Amino acid sequence: MTGPKIAAVLMTLTLSAALVLTGTPAQATKSVSFQGFTIQVPVSWKVKKDPVGGLDVVTGACSKQAMECPGFSIGGRQAIAYASEGGPYRAGQPYHPSSGVMECVPDKRYVEGVAPLKPSRAATVQVGKGHPARFTEWKLTCQTKTSKPTSVAYTQRIWYLRKEKVLVVDQWKTPGLGAILAKAVWR
């Protein structure tokens, strides 16, 4: 057998084993690396550099109604330096890089409402072995531009690795992202 045929047989065996063991086919993944760590994400996710040196990972179809495409961002020093009202990230606060009113993530017709005083969840989690992160989850509501409440809300999740100077912000509650980050490999 030649190299390509062996690879095809091995892929078939891997997918078959995954189906037998889990009841679902294995999902093909690709590596995404940033500041010394690598995560494995589905090949269908699109990764692009952002203007300040971070990464935006788009996980689904974009909507004209939303402020941004579903996904998450991974940022470094620059993202941390401007993550809270135009100033540095403050642990225990939602991600809000603008010093003004921000559009509502799932529906740009609205703006972010007043952030809650406390996160809905907070914990120390691992982003790869031996790399603790402060995890916070916020339920953010949206309001009209004249400050009237709406039924639109979304969950913002943040993984902050202080020592490594990494900030992961997920405004779409991306399924499986916590598990993906927990399996990060550091060099």
11-64 pLDDT, tens per residue? 434 443 443 343 445 689 999 999 999 999 999 999 999 998 999 999 999 999
Cβ atoms of 172 and 156 closer than 8 Å: no
DSSP H helical ranges for 90-138? none
Instruction: Decide the pairing of beta strands 29-34 and 55-58.
Output: unpaired
Confidence of residue 172 (pLDDT cuts 50, 70, 90): very high
User: Do 98 and 77 form a contact (C-beta atoms < 8 A)?
Assistant: no
Sequence-ordered list of residues with C-beta below 8 angstroms from that of 174, at least 6 positions apart, any chain: 59, 70, 71, 72
Instruction: Give residue 84's identity as a one-letter amino acid code.
Output: S
| Residue type (1 letter), 176 | G
- Please enumerate, as own/partner, the contacts of 69-72 that have beta carbons within 8 Å and a separation of 24 or more: 70/172, 70/174, 71/45, 71/170, 71/172, 71/174, 72/168, 72/169, 72/170, 72/171, 72/172, 72/174, 72/177
Look up tokens 């495409």; give the residue.
69
Q: What are 77-121's pLDDT values in tens digits?
A: 999 999 998 899 998 899 999 878 889 999 999 999 988 999 999
10 pLDDT above the threshold of 80: no
d(CA 59, CA 49): 15
CATH code of 28-186, in short, is: 3.40.1000
Could you state, in order of their start, the residue ranges of all structural domains in the chain?
28-186
Residues 6 or more apart in contact with residue 13 via CB below 8 angstroms: none
Taking 60 as the threshold, does the pLDDT of residue 3 lie above it? Answer: no
